[in-house]
Amino acid sequence: IFFKDKTQSLIGPFTERQIQEWYRKGWFENSFPFYFTERGLSPSDEKSSGISLDYLRSLNGVGCPFFKIDEKEEREFEKKRRERKEKLESIEKEIAELHLQCDAVFCLEKTI
C-alpha cells in the first residue's frame, strides 16, 4: 500500500498491517489518498486520485479499513457465524427446557 501525505509525496510500499497500525494511532488524515498495488510495485499512474480513507472505511469497516476480505474468507466467516448462531439457539432451547423442568420440580416440592 502506498499513500500521499500532506505534501502530496508518494510514500510506500507498506504492508496492510503497518498501515493498519498507523491508522489505529491516528496518523492518517481523511484527505490522504491510498494506492493498492501488487507485490509492492509503485502505482502506475501517480496522478490517479487514489482511494480515500472514508471510502475504505465504507468498504471494509471503520475498525480495519485496510484489510480486504476476499470472497472465500467472507464465505468461511459467514459459515462460522451461522454455525455459532445455530449452536446458541440450541443452547437457549436447552436452557428453556431446563427452566421448565426446574419449575415443575419446584411445583412438586411445594405440594409435598
26 pLDDT above the threshold of 60? yes
Range of the domain at 75: 69-112
Same domain? 45 vs 24:
yes
Distances (CA, A) of 13 to 19, 22, 75, 107: 10, 14, 29, 70
Give how many domains the chain has, as a whole number.
Answer: 2
Averaged pLDDT score across all residues of the chain: 83
Same domain? 76 vs 53:
no
Task: Record the pTM.
Answer: 0.54
Q: What are 94-106's pLDDT values in tens digits?
A: 999 999 999 888 8
Same domain? 50 vs 87:
no
Q: What angle do CA 98, 99, 105 make, to 5 degrees?
A: 85
Q: What are 42-84's pLDDT values in tens digits?
A: 676 555 668 889 888 888 888 888 876 555 565 676 688 789 8
Same domain? 7 vs 44:
yes
